[in-house]
Structure 1
Amino acid sequence: MPRLDGHAPEAVAEAARLLAAGQLVAFPTETVYGLGARADDDAAVAKIFAAKGRPADHPLIVHVADAAGAQAFAAELPPLAQRLIAAFWPGPLTVIVSRRAGVAAAASGGQPSIGLRCPAHPVAQALLRSAAALGVPGVAGPSANRYGRVSPTRAAHVEGEFDAALVVLDGGDCEVGIESTIVDCTRDHPVLLRPGVLPRERIEAAAGERLLDAADALAGSAPRAPGTLASHYAPRATLRLMPATALRTALEVLPTDALPKRGGSRLAVYSRSVSPPSRLTARRMPDDPAAAAHELFSVLRELDDEGVQLIWVEEPPAGPAWEASGTACNARPRPERADPHPLACGVGVSMTVGKACVRGLSRALRVSMLVGLGAVLSACGGGDRVSNFSPQRLIVFGDSSSVVAGGNLTDVNGGTVTAAAGAKFSVNAQAVDSTGAATGALDCNSYPIWVQALGFHYGIGFAECNTFTETTPRGKIYAQVGAAVADLSAQVALARADAGGFRSTDLATVMIGQQDILDAYAQYPTKTGAEVIALAEAAGETLGRNINALAQEGARVLVTTLPFQGSTPFGVAQDLISGERSTLLTDMTKRFNAGMRATLLNDGRLIGLVQADAQINLLVNNPSNYGYVSVSAAACSTPTAISCTAPTAGTTTVPSVPGTLVTGATVSNYLWADDRHLGANGQSIIGSLAIDRAVNNPF
């Protein structure tokens, strides 16, 4: 079977070419490996059903490169879906939305809805963007296994499932190891169709309402999403989930003549604290919850391949590391218990072991238990953290990159900046009514800036864009147009006065310093390059001290590094004056970021560092891998991004409305909105980094 190195650009390009030609390609995501075909080609999608032996009325997940890519398949993205996308994309969340008429009929299983996901795996991202550049709007990709088999988490697993003609893009072991969470957004309330790595409480916080369970909302319905059938995750072997005491007792009373004399055991044990007899096939469950989730599917597949007929799995322990606070962990289904209860061992033995035994679960419940187990283990996390930080307020400091307009803005010098309600210094979305016609207003929830994405994640809105219709929005923006590091103290003082101080449940964000770099750069060449670099570094050090002081007042703080200013359209244009200038601007940014980092008193408890510089630089240096047409020019034809709008798509009865983008630019294929502000994709990337840091910092 051809296996391509997913980290080699030429291999990714070849895989994209095959997809564009209607061929199948297996590719990695952060969850499991997918079997991909271009979603807009029903004949190509039919090859997936044929290869897997999967019923054609079972819908497939369509993978897109970014939120903008969802527009090709969605008839509409309701506010609920937009909030979830902003909070969790790219990542292991699939949203079910109404399908755009005439597209992806086969991928949707003939249903009027469609499942969309934006994977976070870098190889998947590179493939999707390369394919998009060849005209492939999205890739239908169920797990790359035969129908009803355990999902693959390694390239070798895929090779064991299909014939030698299938191309596999090898991206290494999948990081998560279980499949994506699926939420139905087509109903009056969100419905959890399939549990996955994302904790229920995080989804509910981003959605702004409680999730309904599929059993309650979809009784009697045809499957609306992959993985909702009882047999979807089933290995061939029978599974029994047992508490450690029950497993230990069962092994103690297991007759010796039931054990194999040498190899070939029909019974296997997957346990963490119980040591089975040496002649039994056994795998040890990792002590770390995330590691156990990561290897679960892989272990089941290996045991299947060894021909075992029964697998005894030790129930994960109670305790904060495995059952952290939150609904997702505490709602894990429990097997019935009985006294006494016969255990049908599957090795020609019947026994009774008393109260410690666990009733053998039905196949459907066993399967759902294992899916839930995977979700619980990964969701609850590992390490020393015992509870999730859940801010009650989101306080935004900084410059124009963190501003959402409620109308005309006042800059830091008292001047007026003309702006429409909901406008951001990025590419803005035009609002449409129920018919798809533009209303003339802006849709502030679409194409959110990074602090909005963070707010969506925690269910927090702002007065300027009150997504959750809170009477008193819990988010407050103090960031100002044109602000420099010296202006941060005034912003903090105003926030302190408004709320009477800061609390440990406050999350403050800071992105500032661009103006300091530009002000110092304006003194070049009157001042030498070394002198303006030193000015930038000093500003970064001052910012670090200000962040320390804010954290000491009680708030938890997320501060982001700055993208290299030499990579902005402004910076690139400076080379027309003299060739060293963009490099100088980049060096100034590096020293600013370094000065700030060196000064931060950051042990992870009070301050989280969002490293936007490294991620944006990766995109700048590898644009084609991420589907960018330009990483050096502005997408907007307007002087500044605050008045920049994307076009509306229109419908068959409502004409499209042009935006203010330059010819050839879209929301997703240009990195920069204007000469110094990131576009919607860049903002989304920083938002994802901020969410990840907020979730994983101990706080």
Structure 2
Amino acid sequence: MKSVKRHLAVLLGATAMLAACGGGGEQIDPFKPTRILSFGDETSTLRSDGSKYTINGTDATTNVVSCAVNQIWVQQLAAHFGLVFGECNPDKLATPTGRMYAAAGAKVADVTAQIDRQFALDGFNSKDMVTILAGANDVLELYAQFPAQDAGTLGNAAQARGEALAAQVNRIVNADGRILLSTVQDMGLSPFAIKEKASHADTDRAALLSELSRRFNAGMRLKIRNDGHYIGLLLTDELMGTMSRYPGAYGASNSADGACLTSSLPPVCTDKTLVANATSASHMWASDTLVAPVVHTYVANQAISRATNNPF
């Protein structure tokens, strides 16, 4: 019996080693990107002065705003691979390894233009780590058309925009880029949605915003090239759904309100301009529609996991 157990242990160990090597004895080399290219909206934006569309952090010693504190998700992802954006380059590297295309207010059509710019510059390659997160501004724009446009029509439009973003993702796949693609945030969980629900009796406005977010993500996910060698999918909508229900599990205490004072909203909001009892870590939302650092950190964790475990 002991010999059988020993044989089984050896067999299981060999199987585990084979799986770790990708099968057939072929070792999968870890992904080591040489640059990061960020596309999308304000959730992924670093401004030229290093400020961000979340709660900007201050240096503990000087109390001066520091771009290296409360890093957004693409910064944390870049740092994991030793990459840096020029917009936040405290060590003054002569040649930053990150390019920031993401811009405040960007919708899918704007992301298309961002990607066009990179194609015109020097394109994409297998050592590029590309990040894409967009759709929140599309969802909000479509929602603003309700009730002049009915929910079904708006849902179809949201899905079409998700499909349009998928087409851009596939362009990069065809150019041999490696992509970390995020689903859009569930905007029905935002403080904006909660306020809209409270002030309108015609329908559940928060549920409508969630549905538009869902349709956008459905369109995107259905049309992207389903190949983990090129695309690592980040389920930000599902993450935020869980965080909204159980904020304490993520070290937060408030999933319904914005942390920043209305007189000091992102990108000028800092950890010194917050509502009473709020901190950079306590709230899920920085403002009515912009996420706080705690969300950025968990999205970054998911991105790092995808980038290191996907067979890029």
**TM-score with structure 2 setting the length:** 0.91
Structure 1 residues 437 and 486 mapped into 2: Cα distance closer, same or farther (>3 Å)? closer
CA distance in 1, matches of 2:221, 2:215: 10
Q: After superposing the two structures, state which structure 1 stretch, 384-393 or 599-608, moved more.
A: 384-393
What amino acid maps onto 1:388 in structure 2? P
Which of 627, 630, 642 is equivalent to 2:267?
642
Matched, 1:611 2:224: no
CA contact under 8 A between 2:187 and 2:210: conserved in structure 1?
yes
2:170 maps to amino acid: N
Q: Residues 196-211 of structure 1: matches in 2 within 5 Å?
A: none
Give the one of 399, 413, 424 matched to 2:52.
424
Structure 1 portions without partners, runs of 5+: 1-262, 264-275, 292-316, 323-380, 407-420, 647-658
Q: Distance in 2 between matches of 1:398 and 1:626?
A: 25
| Mapped partners of 2:54, 2:120: distance in 1 | 30
1:312-357 CA distances to partner (integer Å, 9 max, x unpaired)?
xxxxx7xxx58xxxxxxxxxxxxxxxxxxxxxxxxxxxxxxxxxxx
Three-state SS of the structure 1 residue aligned to 2:88 is: coil
User: Of the two structures, which has the highest relative contact order with CA contacts closer than 8 Å and spacing of 6 or more?
Assistant: 2
Partner amino acid for 1:682? V
Q: Name the residue aligned to 2:35.
A: 393
Which residue among 575, 579, 584 is the counterpart of 2:208?
Answer: 584
**Cα gap change, 1:629 to 1:284, in 2 (>3 Å):** same
8 Å Cα contact 2:186/2:241 also seen in 1:
yes
1:496 paired with 2:138, answer: no
- 2:223 counterpart residue number: 599
* Aligned-residue RMSD, C-alpha: 2.1
Verify: 1:487 aligned to 2:103, yes or no.
no
1:623 Cα deviation from its structure 2 partner: 2.5
Change (3 A) 1:281 1:600: closer
Quote how far apart the aligned CAs of 1:503 are: 1.1
Tell me the secondary structure at the aligned position of residue 424 of structure 1: coil
For 1:115-160, what per-residue CA distance to the aligned partner results, in whole angstroms no more than 9, with x for missing partners?
xxxxxxxxxxxxxxxxxxxxxxxxxxxxxxxxxxxxxxxxxxxxxx
Residue 459 of structure 1: aligned partner:
82
2:169 is equivalent to residue 537 of structure 1: no
Aligned-pair CA distance for 1:641 = 1.9
One-letter amino acid of the structure 1 residue matched with residue 108 of structure 2? V
Aligned length: 306
The structural deviation recorded for 1:386 is 1.1
CA distance in structure 2 between the partners assigned to 1:686 and 1:382 by the alignment: 28
What is the Cα deviation at residue 285 of structure 1?
Answer: 3.9
Q: Give the Cα separation in 2 of the matches to 1:502 and 1:645.
A: 35
Measured at CA, do residues 394 and 643 of structure 1 come closer, stay the same or move farther in structure 2, by a change above 3 Å?
same
CA offset at residue 437 of structure 1? 3.3
Quote the Cα distance in structure 2 between the aligned partners of 1:686 and 1:522. Answer: 27
When you count helix as a share of all residues, which structure comes out higher? 2
Counterpart pick for 2:293 among 672, 680, 691: 680
1:480 CA displacement: 0.9
The percentage of counterpart residues that share the same residue type is 33
**Computing the radius of gyration over CA atoms, which structure comes out larger, 1 or 2?**
1
What is aligned with 1:284?
Answer: 9
Question: Per-residue displacement from partner, 1:16-42 (whole Å, max 9, x unpaired)?
Answer: xxxxxxxxxxxxxxxxxxxxxxxxxxx
TM value normalised by structure 1: 0.42
| 2:96 aligned partner | 473
User: d(CA) in 2 for partners of 1:493 and 1:630?
Assistant: 39
CA distance in 1, matches of 2:244, 2:283: 11
The aligned counterpart of 1:567 is 189
Measured after TM superposition, the shift of residue 541 of structure 1 is: 0.8
- Structure 1 residues 607, 468: CA separation in 2 closer, same or farther (over 3 Å shift)? farther
Partner of 1:609, secondary structure, is: strand
Amino acid in the other structure paired with 1:393: R
- The equivalent residue for 1:693 is 306
Name structure 2 gaps, 5 residues minimum: none
In structure 2, what is the Cα distance between the partners aligned to 1:533 and 1:507? 31
Question: 1:445 pairs with 63, 68, 74, which one?
Answer: 68
CA contact (8 A) 1:563 1:617 kept: no
Deviation (angstroms), 1:545: 1.1
Secondary structure of the 1:642 match is coil
Q: Which residue of 1 aligns with 2:178?
A: 556
Please tell me whether the aligned partners of residues 563 and 589 of structure 1 are also in contact (alpha carbons under 8 angstroms): yes
1:462–1:473 CA contact under 8 A, matched in 2 = yes
CA change 1:460–1:288 in 2 (3 A) is farther
Give the counterpart letter for 2:246 in structure 1: N
Q: Does 1:516 align with 2:138?
A: yes
SS at 1:429 equivalent:
coil
